[in-house]
Amino acid sequence: MHDTTALLVELGSVILGLGLIGRFAGRVGLSPIPLYLLAGLAFGEGGLLPLGASEEFTAVGAEIGVILLLLLLGLEYSASELVTSLKTQYPSGAVDFVLNATPGAVAALLLGWGPVGAVALAGVTWISSSGVIAKVLTDLGRLGNRETPVILGVLVIEDLSMAVYLPLLTAMVAGVGFAGGSVALLIALGTVGLVLYLALRHGRLISRAVSSDNPEMLLLVVLGLTVLVAGVAQELKVSAAVGAFLVGIALSGEVAEGARKLLTPLRDLFAAVFFVFFGLSTNPAEIPPVLLPAALLAITTVFTKIATGWYAAKRAGIGSRGRWRAGGTLVARGEFSIVIAGLAVATEPRIGPIATAYVLILVIAGPLTARWTQPVAARIEAWRAGKARAAGKDRAGSGRSGGSGDSGGSGDSGVEAGSVRPEPVAAQGDLAPAADQA
């Protein structure tokens, strides 16, 4: 079969399959993300029917999918809201780092990987998947929920932290000295600071320059600008996802609203391609040997991420239900974890399989915890409350039975009790009809 023909057949089959999978997931009330990943595993290297002709196109489509996911996420909030979120959420960011980076670092040291492996695996377990979480929030209709700004605040701090973390990890992997690592770090921080400054000070001018009454022109300009900034950010070791997110923050008003409407269908298409590509790039045969340590690490960091979201939502004054939803939503890991593992695999090859298995577990579990953490927590709280009420009734019943036994032992006990603890007038009046009836 001709290469172009094979590409069209494979690509058409993949997109049609994604559509059918998405419809099935919608009917059963689940997010389609885990099904997209399993489909990628089935048709990737070592799967049931490997696809080769469309691999390059799928890789590019996956990159565009992450960029569009983060762009649309940024369009939901203004630059001032971002700054407010950073000011209010930085303690939550510190808790997030301590709770979720520590398990990865400890696991790497126990496995004998050394400092580079410890720093890399700490990053893998620390950073949540902004792409997966953005899709989950959209699928579950939670973009307007009170806890969503808290979730986004934690994600923004994590994503912006990559501007510090990735240059440092790159320098450690390359064996660059302190001076070389400092230069890379300064470039990254300068880029993030410049984009934030432009978004805060000149966001209206940027929106006016991008604005167009022609939907076609608006789509081309916004998409082109986003991909360009993402590429420059990636070259400067900041991350394409952060660049795309900041472009979304810089746009506001009618431009942001129009761009959301135009780009949403493209985002859904390329986001699906991203999740399928993640599965395609994973060889199922590499997963079983590292499944146990990856599963233990995943279980540990599920609870630490839920604790992070619960703490962050509590600080924002959100109720119990919103706290649990925030914690469950933050569980998923994905694109950043794979990027981090890819950087470190040259120095520590063993990190590749365990990071892949770990991310695969949590990228499947993440949408499920986002949906079910709060209902399960509510049931547990209701069960505990019912148990406490039952225990209280038992104590009250035993107290009454003990009191009646005492009064039966002495005919004067009622008078003595009255002299020691006289009843209020209202209570005596309430008891009078009962006495009359007796």
State how far the Cα of 344 lies from the Cα of 313, in Å rounded to an integer: 33
More confident residue, 225 or 32: 225
Confidence of residue 31 (pLDDT cuts 50, 70, 90): low
Higher pLDDT, 148 or 300: 300
Question: Does the pLDDT at position 425 exceed 50?
Answer: no
Which pLDDT score is estimated for 181? 64
Q: And the tokens for 324?
A: 């649990």
| Sequence-distant (≥ 6) Cβ neighbours of residue 332 within 8 angstroms | 128, 129, 132, 133, 136, 362, 363, 365, 366, 367, 369, 370
pLDDT of residue 64: 86
Task: Please report the pLDDT score of residue 436 as a whole number.
Answer: 37
Burial class (CB in 10 A: 0-12, 13-18, 19+), 429: exposed
Map tokens 């940027």 to a residue: 206
Which token pair is 124? 């893998």
pLDDT tens for 95-110 read 999 999 999 999 999 9
Cβ neighbours of residue 76 under 8 Å, at least 6 residues apart? 143, 152, 248, 260
Amino acid 47: pLDDT: 60
362 neighbors 300 (Cβ within 8 angstroms): no
For the four alpha carbons of 307, 308, 312 and 313, in that order, the dihedral sign comes to: negative
Model confidence at 420: pLDDT above 60 = no
DSSP letter assigned to residue 317: T
Residue 423: the pLDDT is: 40
Query: 29: pLDDT confidence band, cut at 50, 70 and 90?
Result: low
Nearest to 133 by CA among 375, 365, 376: 365
CB-CB neighbours of 223 under 10 Å: 18
For the cut 50, the answer to whether the pLDDT of residue 138 exceeds it is: yes
Question: Quick one: pLDDT at residue 22?
Answer: 84
CA 237, CA 325: separation in Å to the nearest integer? 32
d(Cα 328, Cα 331) in Å, to the nearest integer? 6
User: Helices marked H in 316-350 — which ranges?
Assistant: 320-329, 335-344
Helix axes 253-280, 215-235, angle to 10 degrees: 60
User: Which of residues 252 and 108 earns the better pLDDT score?
Assistant: 108
Q: For 57-68, write each residue's pLDDT tens digit.
A: 777 887 888 888
pLDDT of residue 118: 92
Average pLDDT along the chain: 79
Q: Residue 422 phi/psi, 5° resolution?
A: -60, 140
Return all residues near 139 (Cβ < 8 A) that are at least 6 apart. 31, 32, 33, 367
Nearest residue to 137 via CA among 234, 267, 295, 302: 267
Kindly tell me the sign of the dihedral angle through the C-alpha atoms of 367, 368, 369, 370: positive
Give me the pLDDT at residue 46, please.
Answer: 60
CB-based contact 152:222 (threshold 8 Å): no
Q: Are 278 and 62 in contact (CB under 8 A)?
A: yes
Over residues 317-322, mean pLDDT: 91
- Tell whether the model's pLDDT for residue 331 goes beyond 90: yes
What is the C-alpha separation between 326 and 309, in angstroms, rounded?
5
Conformation bin of residue 333: beta by default, left when phi > 0, alpha when psi is -120 to 50: beta
Higher pLDDT, 152 or 80: 152
| 95 vs 194 pLDDT, higher one | 95
User: Rounded to 5 degrees, what are φ and ψ at 258?
Assistant: -65, -40
Q: Is the pLDDT of residue 328 over 60?
A: yes
Residue 106 CB neighbours (<10 A):
16
* Residues of the chain above pLDDT 90, percent: 19
Q: Which of 381, 373, 376, 380 is nearest to 327 (CA)?
A: 373
With a pLDDT cut of 70, the percent of the chain lying above it is 82
> What number is the average pLDDT over the span 23-48?
75
Helix and strand numbers (H, E) in the chain are 17, 0
In this prediction, residue 107 carries a pLDDT of: 94
d(CA 300, CA 425): 60
| Confidence at residue 94, expressed as pLDDT on a 0 to 100 scale | 93
pLDDT at 308: 96
Average pLDDT on 204-208 reads 79
Residue that the structure tokens 């099904």 belong to: 35
pLDDT of amino acid 298: 96
> Which pLDDT score, from 0 to 100, does residue 122 have?
95
pTM: 0.69
**pLDDT, tens digit, 9 for 90 and up, residues 352-370:** 889 888 988 998 899 889 9
DSSP 8-state class, residue 285: G
User: Rounded to an integer, what is the distance from CA 146 to the centroid of its chain?
Assistant: 16
Q: What's the pLDDT at 285?
A: 79
The predicted-structure confidence for 261-284, as pLDDT tens digits, reads as follows 888 888 888 888 877 877 777 777
431/189: higher pLDDT: 189
For the chain, state the CA radius of gyration.
28
User: Which one is predicted more confidently, 196 or 212?
Assistant: 212
- Largest CA-CA distance found in the chain, in angstroms, rounded: 107
Angle at 105 between CA 104 and CA 107, to 5 degrees: 65
